[in-house]
Amino acid sequence: MSEKYNGWTNYATWRVNLEMIDGSYWCEFDPDFEKPEPYELASTLKDWAEELIIHSTPKGLALDYALAFMSDVNWHEIAAHMIEDYAEQN
């Protein structure tokens, strides 16, 4: 899963951004952020998404596969994109 997909690092990054993150602002994930650093925001997004998956998926094979899929996501790319989008809109 290392090929670019729709302009994103890979399919996992594109899909998670599209279905879980797109259209959100960083303050929805951590209201204490004034202007987050990409690394800090990436870590927050990853933790949030993994918690969502863990709490909405029964333990077992499906959860294992979902978390494995999430490990392919380029969280730094999503964070940088989120910060850029916010800057363009404000």
Q: Using one digit for the tens of pLDDT, what is the confidence trace for 15-33?
A: 999 999 988 887 787 777 7
SS (H, E, C) 23-85: CCCHHHCCCCCCCCCHHHHHHHHHHHHHHHHHHHCCCCHHHHHHHHHHCCCCHHHHHHHHHHH
Question: What does the alpha-carbon distance between residue 59 and residue 74 come to, in Å, rounded to a whole number?
Answer: 25
For the beta carbon of residue 12, count every other beta carbon within 10 angstroms: 18
**Which tens digits make up the pLDDT trace of 61-72?**
999 999 999 999
- Its pTM stands at 0.85
pLDDT higher than threshold 70 for residue 48? yes
